[in-house]
Amino acid sequence: MVQLYVHQRSGEASRPVRELKGFERVTLAPGEKKTVRFTIGPESLRYWSAARRDWVTDAAEFDVWVGSDSAASLHGTFKTSE
């Protein structure tokens, strides 16, 4: 199983430390390799704001991790703008 987690570093609301945003079950033979791709669109990064009573997408910097579980160590970052 390959899992993708994100964390929004700052914004209007406190966000989870690691939030699962994608996964794919992969079966490999010994020594076999496979490329797995995830797409993170705006709908993946928005969250419900109780204060606004609407979905919010903050311009922010995000951490992203990919691995076999929530302790994934393969890490990168990306930024979004409004």
Residue 12's CATH number: 2.60.40.10
Tally of structural domains, the chain: 1
Longest dimension (CA), the chain: 51
Does residue 23 belong to any structural domain of this protein? yes
Does residue 36 belong to any structural domain of this protein? no
Does residue 7 belong to any structural domain of this protein? yes
Confidence (pLDDT) at 6: 97
Does residue 61 belong to any structural domain of this protein? yes
d(CA 63, CA 16): 11
The model carries a pTM of 0.86
Does residue 35 belong to any structural domain of this protein? no
pLDDT of 19 > 70? The answer is: yes
Does residue 38 belong to any structural domain of this protein? no
Does residue 33 belong to any structural domain of this protein? no
Does residue 34 belong to any structural domain of this protein? no
Residue range of the domain that includes 6: 2-28+43-79
DSSP 3-state of 44: helix
- Residue 56: Cβ-neighbour burial (10 angstroms; 0-12, 13-18, 19+): middle
Q: How confident is the model at residue 82 (pLDDT cuts 50, 70, 90)?
A: low
d(CA 9, CA 79): 10
Confidence (pLDDT) at 67: 95
pLDDT of 39 > 90? The answer is: yes
Look at 81 and 61; give whichever has higher pLDDT.
61
- If you average pLDDT over residues 38-54, what whole number do you get? 93
- If you average pLDDT over residues 16-21, what whole number do you get? 95
